[in-house]
Amino acid sequence: MAVLETIPVLLSSSSSSSFLDTSTVIALTVFFALLCACIIIGHLLEENRWANESITALLLGLCCGVVVLLITKFHSSRILVFSEDLFFLYLLPPIIFNAGFQVKKKQFFKNFTTILLFGVVGTVISFCLISLGAYLLFKRIGVTSLDIKDYLAVGAILSATDSVCTLQVLNQDETPLLYSIVFGEGVVNDATSIVLFNAVQSLDVSNIDLLTALKLLGTFLYLLFTSTALGIAAGLISAYIIKTLYFGRHSTDREVALMMLMAYLSYMLAELLNLSGILTIFFCGIVMSHYTWHNVTESSRVTTKHAFATISFIAETFIFLYVGMDALDIDKWKSSKASPGTSIAVSSTLFALVLVGRAAFVFPIANITNCIKKRPSTKIELRKQFIIWWAGLMRGAVTIALSYNEFANSNTTLTEDSALMITSTIIVVLFSTVVFGSITKPLIEAVLLRNAKPVHSDATDIPSLDDLQILFLENCDPSDQGGSNEPTRRKGSLSLLISNPTSTVHYFWRKFDDKFMRPVFGGRGFVPFVPSSPTGAADPQTS
Amino acid sequence: MAVLETIPVLLSSSSSSSFLDTSTVIALTVFFALLCACIIIGHLLEENRWANESITALLLGLCCGVVVLLITKFHSSRILVFSEDLFFLYLLPPIIFNAGFQVKKKQFFKNFTTILLFGVVGTVISFCLISLGAYLLFKRIGVTSLDIKDYLAVGAILSATDSVCTLQVLNQDETPLLYSIVFGEGVVNDATSIVLFNAVQSLDVSNIDLLTALKLLGTFLYLLFTSTALGIAAGLISAYIIKTLYFGRHSTDREVALMMLMAYLSYMLAELLNLSGILTIFFCGIVMSHYTWHNVTESSRVTTKHAFATISFIAETFIFLYVGMDALDIDKWKSSKASPGTSIAVSSTLFALVLVGRAAFVFPIANITNCIKKRPSTKIELRKQFIIWWAGLMRGAVTIALSYNEFANSNTTLTEDSALMITSTIIVVLFSTVVFGSITKPLIEAVLLRNAKPVHSDATDIPSLDDLQILFLENCDPSDQGGSNEPTRRKGSLSLLISNPTSTVHYFWRKFDDKFMRPVFGGRGFVPFVPSSPTGAADPQTS
């Protein structure tokens, strides 16, 4: 409670002294001014396909860091200290929640197997390769003081792709298949790499055997299922509360507040129970958009749709601004006494490992799923494999947060090599975000959209036979539950089951949903229209 | 960065340790769970006219405090430490901004003189009386160690009315005149009492003369004008940016983000320049609702209207939850070694002084304004004076924050009397919020609405002659600027000027607004309709 401190002379000293800590106020003022600048500049650059808000924020943060560095005469470039609490408690949850809330559910679940394979198996492959590569190569560069745990940690840290920048680069409407795979992978990947990282930290390195590996797998599966279940439960509870208690006397402010608070509560509960909060809040978002969102008033729908997106947008911009500003942290660069040559060697080694590590799972897994899939339109052709590989190369704030956690958090002072690892991670993050963030959009245009327009390369651009069958099934199934038991229609669905297993899972889910879930938890068509508010609001997704 | 700490055994210790400080996570989980509970219980109690969300939150906070007290075996009742930064940086700004954004501007400016008199002169009167009363009475009770500065601070602390609970108790639609006066007074009062408090803290007590008083007045006027100007400037800049830069390619997320960030930035800038952030953000809200809000898309309008209200609602509930939980802070009660008798004596003395201090300005000022006003319908009759007096008796978080600042922030340990002052302030806040918060609504019903229905006691329930004249003037004035120069209509307005000075100020403001302001900054009728979103959204206010 260090308030009413003597205010520095550089501020106008009126007789009314502030209650607030001046340095906090300065930091917040600078950050909010920069955020405003990012939004305005980002909007002006919208037409420019090389730039986006992430890169603007990153560069603006770098510039601001330089200015602060000059003002403080190279003592410090930072206005706020990078805090993992700030990142994991306040910035990441709204981004992931909004992603779940706005994701096209049908696309997501259609590609669920592929997403899981990429996100889990792929991340593990990448982790192994990067760890092994770093172990073999770093000694040649001259980095010697790292132990085996550090190398494993490096693997986990650099396996965490950045789903935030990916979201800005890929377009859900232009390339839905790619978007759902790359983004879905990003969410699962976040969870996987954090689990791997935690596992590495608690690992007894002297005793690695099959049992440890099995235990790790068990922990991972346990986390996956409990986290998902918690998220679904939180979403369903919010839907039930709003449907049951609020029925007939809706209050937009309370509905929106309850949705926000329940989502955040699910994240906190998951963290408290040592589960993966990211997975939890992601599934909470999905369930809320499927049930809760349909139970509230029209104005609540418009408000939640845009308010969640806005908060997520601000958090994303903040993160990049912050990473940019943090990159110039003079203490870290001073502690790492490595020559620029070594720094560049380590960074480029790490980046090369990231490239190889990602290539090593994207192409094999994509080809395996291609063999399994029968429909040619859902196959991932080489061109798309290349984009999936490319779009997942960006590294972001999760990487930096994990890197700080591993290398800066020890109670001892920063060793040279730890500082070197942190600065190299920052270089990799900056380089990948700026370079890949700016090239990806034009690349997608060049590789996919322009070349492939006549052949309709993206599977979901035109409704396939499957889609039409689903459409037919859905239209057969009126929104009141009664109609689904008619024998003639049932027969039609049975013949479809045999010919089309994937769509049939979706079909039976719809049946189950309409019969058991929606009557209890509400959802589209199961809650009477609430007329208190503007009409015609668009769905948050086209599921 | 105390992360990855050893997690207490009471938590399930899976192999995945959390990155986050466990105590923070626990505190946040409890707070968010309590917030959810408040919203649900508050909604269920909506029909009950004795309860509201503030009281529910306060009582729930008290209960939670008791539980924590029992769990920790009377070591601590607090999960989070009360921080003035949290309150002044994150909780108060959204509440005041939303108040400005949703206030009925016409009502507010119609009663502007009355509001200023109540908020400035009234607060000063109350401050003098409470300080004097405390100085004369406390020595008799046995409180001796306070110096003259402390007594003046007590006066400033207890002159700060609580605008948050008032908002929940009064209804803008049922009693618009009362609402605008009591709430408007609350906002100006907040600023006044904080200015007074700061002035007292920087005062040289040995040298009080006329010059000091004049200086104080000068400071106050300087703050009033610069803060208001800063708020208006921030609002106009946001309107200009959105009108000019975004024209033709609106993006709801960016518009909403920019409005939120600009408002918050204005508050931070005001604090940085040692102005009154509360006044600044209040006027920023008014200007944004008058210009910016009309420049954005329909969905941005719906979103901002409800998102701001929601954030403000969550902040309000959080504050009351927090005050309730903080009231049981065992350290404070232990430090104050006063007997229960002394505690009660001090608290009731303070409360009596609050009652007298408010009565001493409400009735005289109301009668003075009644003498000035010519129209009988705008006069404040005795019944309403009583309600104005009553509704402003609640004391809230500002009082607690100021009290902590004065009595708990000294570098020395808490003296007995300082602790006694803090606990007494807490008692006054709890008592006034619970008692007045629950009685005010029924009281208004009994005194105003029920008794007075046949005589239309509330001046604005029926359109008066003045209102009809304004309506006529406005209808004469088409929304395109051209029509305002026709000579015949001008003549009509000139004759009205002489007979009706108050409405004429409004009329000329409208003319100026339509001719100079709206063409530059946008506003209703000056920005073409943006069709991208749902139609028919209601105005956030009926100005």
Which chain A residue has its CA at the smallest distance from B212's CA? Answer: A15
Q: Do A303 and B307 touch (CB under 8 A)?
A: yes
pLDDT of residue A229: 94
Whether pLDDT at B494 is above 90: no
Q: In angstroms, rounded to a whole number, what is the distance separating the alpha carbons of residues A521 and A516?
A: 9
Q: In angstroms, rounded to a whole number, what is the distance separating the alpha carbons of residues A362 and A125?
A: 10
Average pLDDT over residues B488-496: 50
Euclidean distance between the first and the last CA atom of chain B, given in angstroms as a whole number: 49
Integer CA distances (angstroms), A117 to A188, A192, A282, B61, B156, in order: 10, 11, 18, 47, 65
List CB contacts (< 8 A) between A86 and chain B: none
Using pLDDT thresholds of 50, 70 and 90, give the confidence band for residue A526: low
Contacts of residue B450, defined as CB under 8 A and 6 or more positions apart, other chains included, come to none
Interface-testing mutation among A5, A15, A214, A249, with chain B (most B C-beta atoms within 10 A): A15
pLDDT of residue A87: 82
| φ, ψ of residue A535 in degrees (nearest 5) | -105, 170
Contacts of residue A70, defined as CB under 8 A and 6 or more positions apart, other chains included, come to none
A336 contacts A343 by C-beta, under 8 angstroms: yes
Q: Do B405 and A3 touch (CB under 8 A)?
A: yes
pLDDT of residue A185: 85
The chain-wide mean pLDDT, for chain A, equals: 75
List CB contacts (< 8 A) between B268 and chain A: 25, 28-29, 32
Place of tokens 């309850």: A258
Whether pLDDT at A266 is above 90: yes
Place of tokens 């500082």: A419
Residue B516: CB atoms within 10 Å = 11
Answer with the residue of higher pLDDT: A25 or A49.
A25
pLDDT of residue A14: 34
pLDDT of residue A496: 55
Q: Do A199 and B16 touch (CB under 8 A)?
A: yes
Q: Which of A108-112, A285-289, B160-164 has the highest mean pLDDT?
A: A285-289
Whether pLDDT at B482 is above 80: no
Q: Do B408 and A46 touch (CB under 8 A)?
A: no
Euclidean distance between the first and the last CA atom of chain A, given in angstroms as a whole number: 50
Task: Give pLDDT tens digits for B332-353.
Answer: 677 766 677 888 888 999 999 9
Q: In angstroms, rounded to a whole number, what is the distance separating the alpha carbons of residues A429 and A62?
A: 13
Which chain B residue has its CA at the smallest distance from A191's CA? Answer: B16
Beta-bridged to residue B29, according to DSSP, are: none
A42 contacts A53 by C-beta, under 8 angstroms: yes
Q: In angstroms, rounded to a whole number, what is the distance separating the alpha carbons of residues B343 and B338?
A: 6
Q: In angstroms, rounded to a whole number, what is the distance separating the alpha carbons of residues B484 and B507?
A: 11
B446 contacts B428 by C-beta, under 8 angstroms: no
| φ, ψ of residue B535 in degrees (nearest 5) | -105, 170
Would you identify the CATH topology of the domain B84-450?
A: Na+/H+ antiporter like fold (1.20.1530)
The two tokens of residue A83 are: 């805090």
The two tokens of residue B195 are: 């200015």
Using pLDDT thresholds of 50, 70 and 90, give the confidence band for residue B195: confident
DSSP assignment of A435-483 equals IIHHHHHHHHIIIIIITTTTTT-STTSS--HHHHHHHHHHHHS-SSGGG
Of A543, A476, A542, A540, nearest to A511 by C-alpha is: A476
Closest CB from A7, A223, A252 relative to B16: A223
Indicate the helix (H) or strand (E) that contains B204: none
Q: Do B268 and A32 touch (CB under 8 A)?
A: yes
Which chain B residue has its CA at the smallest distance from A20's CA? Answer: B85
Place of tokens 């400005």: B100
Which chain A residue has its CA at the smallest distance from B308's CA? Answer: A253
Which chain A residue has its CA at the smallest distance from B256's CA? Answer: A310
Which chain B residue has its CA at the smallest distance from A219's CA? Answer: B15
Closest CB from B19, B84, B298 relative to A1: B84
List CB contacts (< 8 A) between B21 and chain A: 85
Of A433, A503, A401, nearest to A109 by C-alpha is: A503
The two tokens of residue A360 are: 């090593």
Q: In angstroms, rounded to a whole number, what is the distance separating the alpha carbons of residues B417 and A329?
A: 47
Place of tokens 């008592």: B431
Whether pLDDT at B495 is above 50: yes
Of B258, B254, B219, B213, nearest to B238 by C-alpha is: B258
How close is the nearest chain A Cα to the Cα of B219, in Å?
7
Q: Do A33 and B265 touch (CB under 8 A)?
A: yes
pLDDT of residue B498: 53
Q: Which of A270-284, A519-533, B76-90 has the highest mean pLDDT?
A: A270-284
Please state the ipTM of this predicted complex: 0.79
Of A245, A246, A288, nearest to A266 by C-alpha is: A288
Average pLDDT over residues A432-454: 73
Task: Give pLDDT tens digits for A350-400.
Answer: 999 999 999 999 999 888 888 877 666 667 788 888 888 888 888 887 788
Number of A–B residue contacts, CB under 8 Å: 275
Q: Do B306 and A252 touch (CB under 8 A)?
A: yes
Closest CB from A12, A36, A245 relative to B265: A36
The two tokens of residue B26 are: 């626990």
pLDDT of residue A70: 84
Q: Do A303 and B306 touch (CB under 8 A)?
A: yes
Indicate the helix (H) or strand (E) that contains B225: helix B210-245
A450 CB-side CA count, 13 A? 7
List CB contacts (< 8 A) between A201 and chain B: 4, 17
Q: Do A43 and B251 touch (CB under 8 A)?
A: yes
**Residue ranges per domain, chain A?**
84-450
Average pLDDT over residues B475-494: 42
pTM for the structure as a whole: 0.80
Which chain A residue has its CA at the smallest distance from B269's CA? Answer: A29
Task: Give pLDDT tens digits for A135-178.
Answer: 888 888 877 777 788 888 888 888 888 776 776 777 777 777 88
Q: In angstroms, rounded to a whole number, what is the distance separating the alpha carbons of residues A203 and A406?
A: 14
A19 contacts A3 by C-beta, under 8 angstroms: yes
Task: Give pLDDT tens digits for A314-363.
Answer: 988 888 888 888 777 766 677 766 677 888 888 899 999 999 999 999 99
